[in-house]
Amino acid sequence: MAKGIWIFIEHHDGLIRKVSLELLRQAKIIAEASGDPVTAVVLGKNISSVAETAGTYGADKVIIVDDEKLGDYTTGAYTSVLNKLARDEEPLAILLGNTAIGKDLAPRLAHRLGVGMASDCIGMEADEKDFLKFKRPIYGGKAFCELTLTEKPIVATIRPNTFPSGAPDAAWKAEIVKADAVINADDLRAIVKEVALAASLRPELIEADIIISGGRGMKGPENFVLLEECADSIGAAVGASRAAVDAGWREQKFQVGQTGKTVSPTLYIACGISGAIQHLAGMGSSKVIVAINKDPDANIFNLADYGIVGDLFEIVPLLTEELKKLR
């Protein structure tokens, strides 16, 4: 009998990615109503601490596959291991973050299992008939569709920062089950020799606690140095609106919005951003929003907790200097 919701746990250097914690919490909410267990699936090398942490975030069970060949993510090995586990245990759903790894792994896993999948979902709730119902953007974020998947297991990727991640509960103890990896030579067609990380001291956009973003009001790519200096003074990430990305001022990986990245930091500072619906959808859940714009009628002020009407080229340098003094 098919059972439960599985969450694929992404981790790096012993730390679980935020999106995996968000999925654990949301799965727990859904499972409490349906009575189904939530299982965290952790693959990798020397991952006992990761498994224990996953348990404190609400997983009823943690399946751990600890193997030398899983030390670095490779499509073939991870797909093969997850496929076997899913066929043996028959979960109702397997959920992954819509990250670089999730977008690579989920469709291959769905193909192996002979089921469809839902990708880049921004909503998930219980469905009486098909167990889960998803919401995802279509037509470049101009519309949304709701969909269900009739074949089990359901495979879906969820956009980061769609749900809150909650807090760990040290008193919650999950059952930890160790499984063996069955990895054949055909599964290792690609072998990771080296991982080269981008040289940046700034946090990743979707993981950042503070973000400062620029829009069309930055007037050019050269002016983003103002935001970078401000960000470095407070350990923040730098983002951009779709208008700035479309103009070629910033790479697409920095785009905040419905067709970019959804973020949910403690503090979001919007500089020269008018506040188009597409952008607000990507950062509207930020706890505190500060807007800097010379147009007093800019839509961003309707959402902002604090607004500064003025020239960002005068205000941001002053803000940077004051923040440096505080640090």
- Dihedral of alpha carbons 159, 161, 162, 163, sign: positive
pLDDT on residue 166: 82
Q: Residue 300 contacts by C-beta under 8 Å, 6 or more apart in sequence?
A: 270, 273, 274, 275, 280, 291, 293, 307
* Rounded CA separation 119/136 (Å): 8
Where exactly does CATH 3.40.50.1220 map onto the chain? 205-326
pLDDT above 90: percentage of residues in the chain = 69
pLDDT on residue 42: 96
Q: For tokens 């998947």, what's the residue?
A: 149
pLDDT on residue 200: 63
pLDDT on residue 1: 47
Q: Residue 75 contacts by C-beta under 8 Å, 6 or more apart in sequence?
A: 104, 105, 108, 190
Topology (CATH level 3) of domain 205-326: Rossmann fold (3.40.50)
Which residues in the chain belong to E strands, given as ranges? Answer: 5-8, 11-12, 15-16, 38-44, 61-66, 93-97, 117-121, 123-127, 131-138, 143-148, 154-158, 175-178, 210-214, 237-240, 267-271, 288-293, 306-309
Where exactly does CATH 3.40.50.620 map onto the chain? 5-188
pLDDT on residue 181: 82
pLDDT on residue 259: 82
pLDDT on residue 197: 62
As a CATH number, domain 5-188 is: 3.40.50.620
pLDDT on residue 190: 75
pLDDT on residue 128: 87
Whether the ω angle into residue 91 lies within 30 degrees of 0, i.e. cis, is no
Structure-block tokens of residue 104? 């690579």
For 157-196, write each residue's pLDDT tens digit.
Answer: 999 888 988 888 888 888 999 998 888 777 777 777 777 6
pLDDT on residue 2: 55
pLDDT on residue 230: 95
* Rounded CA separation 123/23 (Å): 11
pLDDT above 70: percentage of residues in the chain = 97
- DSSP helix/strand/coil, 253: helix
Low-confidence ranges of the chain (pLDDT < 70): 1-2, 140-141, 196-200
What integer best gives the mean pLDDT of the chain?
91
